[in-house]
Chain A
Amino acid sequence: MTSLAPDDPEATGPYPRMPGGGVSRRPLHFIILADCSGGMKGEKIQALNFAIADMLPHLAAWERDQEQAQVFIRAIAFATEPWWHIAEPQPVAGLGWKPLQPVPKGLTNMGPAFTLAARALAPGRIERRALRPAMLLITDGLATDPPGGFEAGLSALMDAPAGQAALRLAIAIGRDARSAALDRFIGDPGVPVLVADSSEDIADRLVAASLAVSRMSEVGADRGAVARRLLGPSGDVPSRIFDQDTIV
């Protein structure tokens, strides 16, 4: 129950005794879902690893600059089956990215990855005071789930209140990967799938996505304009995906 000294009337401290266990910023959970199917081998997975490693400092810089959120990263890799690449929420500041490896002949089954994420976002598994989570799906191919598999995973995600509330973005590596399935994952017709036409584009798209995610909690910004700028000319994003503090 101690704190720091103030220099101005709106600064904090000093407080010899403040009840409770101290204060901290509100958590912003960012879950990366990365395609590690067989088709990602070679240049694609290298570019993906580079792009994610490049994105993290951008998020860390934003975290330092804003006044509200503390960003925590988790990552799910998926192919025929999903697995946690980063299972426990890690503060983005100082987080190093351990490169992903593709699964030889691995399929692109998205449903089980959604289910895994849903478990992490279940009530009681995420702080009540947490900001709206963010999820970023990156894939180079169409979903290969067995019949009903994609839908079951997406339903599990939507059944979790935090999953339903999450800002969900998707990056398609190659125009062929842009699919109705990704639109359904995003769940908002105003939010476009970000397309990386080449491996070189992946880093740019990830930075755009991370900026969109980070700006979601900035009060007072014209969020629709921010989203349109960051997500491309077709991204006429309804402001409601970023809204906070309005009525039920």
Chain B
Amino acid sequence: MAMAANSTTGSTTGSITGGIVTWQVVTGSARGATHRVSGLPNQDAVASHDGPGGVVVAIADGHGHVRHFRSADGAALAVGVACRVASETAAALAADDADDQEAERAGQELARAVVADWRSAVAGQLEARPYTVEEQFILDRSADTPVIPYGATLLVALITARWLVCAQIGDGDMLAVRPDGASFSPVAGDDRLDGRRTTSLCQPDALASFRTGAHDLHQVPLAALLLATDGYGNAQADEPWQPRVGRDLAELAACQDRHWFGQEVPGWARRCASAEGSGDDATIALLLPGAGQDSGTPDAEEGAGRGQRPWTG
């Protein structure tokens, strides 16, 4: 498993799925300018894993508020747990000839398992590293439960030979890009995300706040899949930014090799995290299909997976 956090980082992993499609993961993560000024670390985390079932990637954004003083740890635990669970899900999906309902259920089950395992992981860390006196004072003053300091968002995606399965809690963005440059969000939106507050793994009803989606890549081939923490989207000058980013990514995917993306994506994260952009931690995970990808059919241009939100304009 490849993991990155705490500084400007980049990494790539590759996967061969069923001998048909190669997906490569390119990641970049940068500490926000405001975090640099205030001495806070990069509280985002990113991890990916390529296994026999397919490729998986997860990003997480630890909440910056003082209540969430272990959120960087919470984010790191989240991406680790998510990649492990998603790899198991991918293997199960790849082994069976899953239909669309089974793929949808796999996304929901993925969310359920991630919530349970993340809470176990937090409990394990608390056992190994209990709260200090200072941390306990903050916890008591906030009247929070012990899991609240670990609060983080999570975006996780897995790609098998046929399926894209996604799960998300909290802010951040997923953008599925088709070869023609059209793009859509593979999970539903959440009106509660107002830029100041977010749903979180640490909330008591976290599972109910997960948004999941499953998309048949035979029906809707993709040129790219972008996952990003809110430090990326909040830096974009366009509103909405998704249509142009989708078009540009499709164009870039058609003319640039993966080595180029590996060099560039960390820089994109740095620019978004800079004082020119959002000033917040920014993490990007970009999944790109390689040789063997079906370039699309007329049917594929018409349809898309269930629950997607198209971006137009």
Contact = CB atoms under 8 A, between A and B. Distances in A.
Interface of A: 1, 3, 6, 9-26, 66-68, 127-132, 161, 165, 218-221, 239, 243-248
A21 B37 contact: no
B251 to A, nearest CB: 8
B252 A248 contact: no
Interface of B: 7-8, 30-40, 63-68, 148, 151, 192, 194-200, 202-203, 209, 233-239, 241, 244-245, 248-249, 252, 256, 264, 267-268, 270-272, 274-280
A244 B196 contact: yes
Contacts of B197: 245-248
* Main SS class of interface, A: loop
Given A23-B274, A244-B196, 8 more contacts: A19-B249, A20-B238, A66-B275, A68-B280, A219-B279, A243-B65, A246-B65, A247-B197
B276 A12 contact: yes
Which 8 A-B pairs have CB atoms at the shortest separation, nearest pair first? A220-B38, A19-B248, A68-B279, A21-B238, A23-B277, A67-B33, A246-B65, A219-B34
A205 to B, nearest CB: 26
A15 B252 CA distance: 13
Nearest to A246: B65
A14 B264 CA distance: 9
With most chain B CB atoms within 10 A of its CB, the pick from A11, A17, A24, A246 is: A246
A131 B194 CA distance: 10
11 contacts: A9-B8, A11-B270, A12-B276, A14-B267, A15-B267, A18-B267, A19-B268, A68-B278, A128-B195, A128-B239, A165-B194
A15 B8 CA distance: 15
B200 A248 contact: yes
A126 to B, nearest CB: 10
Contacts of A161: 194
B195 A131 contact: yes
Contacts of A221: 38
Nearest to B197: A248
A17 to B, nearest CB: 6
Nearest to B190: A248
B33 A20 contact: no
B203 A247 contact: yes
B198 to A, nearest CB: 6
Contacts of B275: 25, 66-68
Contacts of B64: 219, 244-245
Given A67-B37, A218-B34, A23 B271 contact: yes
A165 B198 CA distance: 14
A132 B245 CA distance: 25
